[in-house]
Chains A and B, each alone.
Chain A
Amino acid sequence: MDEILDGLTQIDCDILIIGGGTAGPMAALKAKRKNPEANVVLLDKANVKRSGAISMGMDGLNNSVIPGYATPEQYTKEITIANDGICDQAAVYRYAQECYGIIQELDSFGIRFQKDQNGEYDVKKVHHIGTYVLPMPNGDTVKKALYRQLRKARINIINRFMATRLLTGEGRVAGAICVNTRSAEFLVVRAKAVIMGLGAAGRLGLPTSGYLYGTYENASNSGEGYAMAYHAGAGLANLECYQINPLIKDYNGPACAYVAGPMGGYTANAQGERFIECDYWSGQMMQEFYDELQGGKGPVYLKLNHLAEETVAEIERVLHIVERPTRGHFHEGRGTDYRKQMIEMHISEIGFCSGHSASGVFVDEHARTTIPGLYAAGDMANVPHNYMLGAFTNGAFAGMDAAVFIADVDHANFDMGEVDAERTRVLAPTKRDDGIPPNQIEYKTRRLVNDYLQPPKVTAKMELAQKRFEEVRDDMESGMFVRDAHELMRALEASTILDCAEMAAAASMYRTESRWGLYHNRVEYERDDENWFCHTILTKGEDGKPAHKKQDVKPYVVEIAEDEKDAYANQRVGSSSSVAAE
């Protein structure tokens, strides 16, 4: 295994789904159900059984819109406000209308959502009027249940192939070029439609631990979806709206908003004082968090030691058993106990992830990108604050739409020269006798991301970043060296990470205002609604470098009253009316 072999296979299918994590499996199931004759292929660079952000499970749904607890209108309003108004509501609204059906479907797969003692959904209150949180008591079995459905539906699954470039022709998508992560053999998949569900760009910034894989996102989500969409000519929206999350320091697990918050836990400064009232993750909240860290009152802590024993035990059960089970080991190793002391927190490295922000490959309410036949769903598509249920629901939309799309078209012709050129690009590091290993290319890129792109954003620093990224790119293209197929996968990821870093810098330079709190805090610019109440769309320009344009926010489906628009501003305790902290 891992020996580099020479090989090229070509297969044809109707719908190619790249990424078997969350959105991908649902897209596959829906496409197959809608058109049982369709040849659907689900491809993953890992193994579909345990791939993606929910590899080990998920503790609950953060954004379930269940009749009787919340309405699609309320939800759409919330998300629009949370994104400073920059939101095409149609996709959010459609999600809100149809996600309950997806919950019921997941339930029928054997994925359990918390029910009360009468067997009814037990929705927890986190947001205000609407109630959106639905815990998942057996969240650790999500992937197992999905995999079972894929096998029952007889979906064609290809594991351990990494897609590296999309193929296009006749003005639409034509397929993808893939390489085996254990043999470096090539696979060209011709497809009438391609659905991308490749997750976040989680290996963009470097975590404070310095460990390349100690990221908030599953470290296998290295941003291939963004890079492939870019190189194929698709539009990417609002990439300057980074993902930055509050985490337990050194351990990449989240803390407060959905699990501990409703039970009375909160974020405090070194004095144990509450300094932000609302732990719901937003750019504004992260800005306050950052200010506290920088302002001499830090570090910042998760405070649970004032809670009743029963409450702490319940929080531990959720945080340590489901989503990230190593978390209990972490606290044990450090000798920290929620009951006895506050737990140090920090801010995460930056990344791209629509699940927690509003950036990503631009899609409409059918999950269609700007390239006909090409779809995107989940963390890489720009439907904001999607989370896991958004990935399932938008994945379903993509699968259903693609099943219709393929009925009227044949495979698009593409230029075989593109395949040859891609083989040459991919295999270049295998043709050298020595050089720079991919981990060093990656480390350097990500260290530069931290040095120059981590907000607050400063123009001169971002210009330096762009210059240094070019130097790293020259080194990578002329001198990267790998010894086996596994290292080749890492080399391809390093290239993707560099693409994403360059896009992050370029998009941030283009929007000359501040917006979304810390996510796009450009210190030289104020918020500017007159010129920047719009999406920014990044594409690959004629010169091979990022090109930009503004795109209007589509007219709202659900109106937002003037006095509701600042709902996420002023989160600091005592910033307006003064209420004593607990």
Chain B
Amino acid sequence: MSNALDLFEDFDDIAELAEGLDDPSPGARIMAVMELADNADPAAIPYLARAISDDDAGVRKQAAQALTDFDGAETAAALVLALDDSDTAVVEAAAVSLTELKDPSAGDAILPHLDTTDDVKLTALLAGIKELRRPEAMGPAIAALKHASPDVRVQAVGVIGWLQDETSLPALRDAAKDADVKVRRTALSALGFSKSEHAEATLVNGLTDPEWLAREAAAETLAKTGGAQCVPALRSVLGDDYWQVRLKAVRSLGKLGATEAAMEIAPMMDVPVPNLRKECAAALGELAVPETASFLEKYADDSDPDVRKNVRWALDKLAA
């Protein structure tokens, strides 16, 4: 071991490594794929794209995984191709790799395929295009809201939400009435970007959703979107059956500065759930209504340090 160069991890010649893809043994081809990826050299992309059409499913799966290390349209095109694979392991690997794309130009390879009706493929394509924030995806995403698969619809809502475009509000409003709770919940959360009355009205509606997960999302999102209009509706869920919904309502009322709710929140300091007491104290601090001081003072020495800290902080705000 006299040669110091042997110490270091190698950086190989890509073309040379790629010769391994022609080996008759699938195991050797898998090794070649892995080595091509390890060099983090974009010159490997065309070779990996070729391996997506290998005869052996193991090689194809490895290639789909290896493409996670790269970005751009050429990578995306290979992954889109892999979504048509007959082997589900290859499709799953490609779907994961698609969500790792960051370069908006990768969208060029995804956009032309958004007209597919295959639910697995469409779910993966929508998940992939979402973070690339390509405005051209809006139309296909809205169309996908009509798809039979809830997974597709959830991803479609995600694409729309990430684009943060007011013109999509009618579509999100429809999605907030979807038959599937996951879709409704996602749609309600996706309204967070908008300051419009439409969004607020949809969220207020969401507060009466039969499923608590949707009510929780609506209560949480109103802090970002809502104004004075939504305060009565938020106050009405302070008695929700689920403490998670009450907690989000309390937080939103605090953030919205709804001082008229302060005397309803104050008695909630007596609830046994510390997470909720903590949130009530913080909200009362934000609202800073002097009459709530006696409720807070009772818990200045609460056994939960987080409640204690919030109570002290709140009392400081009230005093200021």
A contact residues vs B (CB 8 Å cutoff)? 5, 7, 9, 11, 48, 108, 110, 116-120, 125, 127-129, 138, 141, 144, 148-149, 151-152, 154, 156-159, 161, 180, 183, 185, 187, 261-262, 264, 277-278, 280, 308, 310-311, 563-564, 567-568, 570-577, 579-582
Contact = CB atoms under 8 A, between A and B. Distances in A.
Contact of B164 (A5, A110, A118, A311): A118
A138 B40 CA distance: 20
B123 to A, nearest CB: 16
Contact of B162 (A9, A119, A264): A119
23 contacts: A11-B4, A117-B157, A117-B162, A118-B192, A119-B162, A119-B164, A120-B192, A128-B310, A144-B68, A158-B7, A183-B1, A264-B273, A277-B274, A308-B212, A308-B242, A571-B303, A571-B304, A572-B303, A576-B301, A577-B298, A577-B300, A579-B299, A582-B273
B2 A129 contact: no
A262 B310 contact: no
A60 B278 CA distance: 22
Task: Report whether over half of chain B's contact residues are helix, strand or loop; otherwise say mixed.
Answer: helix
Interface string B218-243: 00000000000000000000000011
Given A128-B278, A129-B309, A117 B158 contact: yes
B268 to A, nearest CB: 12
Contacts of B9: 48, 156-159
A563 B312 CA distance: 9
Interface in B275-320: 275, 277-279, 282, 298-310, 312-313
A138 B101 CA distance: 13
B40 A152 contact: yes
Contacts of A571: 303-305
B38 to A, nearest CB: 7
A118 B190 contact: yes
A9 B2 contact: yes
Interface of B: 1-2, 4, 7-9, 11, 38-40, 68-69, 99-100, 102, 131, 133, 157-158, 161-162, 164, 186, 189-190, 192-193, 212-213, 242-244, 270, 272-275, 277-279, 282, 298-310, 312-313
Closest 7 CB pairs of A and B: A277-B304, A151-B40, A117-B190, A117-B161, A576-B301, A117-B189, A128-B309
Nearest to B154: A117
Contacts of B39: 151
B193 A262 contact: no
Contact of A128 (B7, B186, B300, B306): B306
A144 B96 CA distance: 14
Given A119-B161, A127-B306, A264 B7 contact: no
A154 B102 contact: no
A571 B212 CA distance: 31
Given A128-B278, A187-B7, A574 B303 contact: yes
A575 B158 contact: no
B102 A110 contact: yes
A138 B298 CA distance: 43
Given A128-B282, A129-B310, A580-B272, A118 B302 contact: no
A581 B272 contact: yes
Nearest to A261: B275
Nearest to A569: B305
Contacts of A574: 303
Contact of A9 (B4, B100, B161, B312): B4
Contacts of A280: 305-306
Contacts of A261: 275
Given A119-B162, A128-B313, A154 B11 contact: yes
A141 B69 CA distance: 11
Given A151-B38, A278-B274, A11 B212 contact: no
Nearest to A275: B303
B69 A277 contact: no
Contact of A278 (B244, B279, B306): B306
Contact of A148 (B69, B275, B306): B69
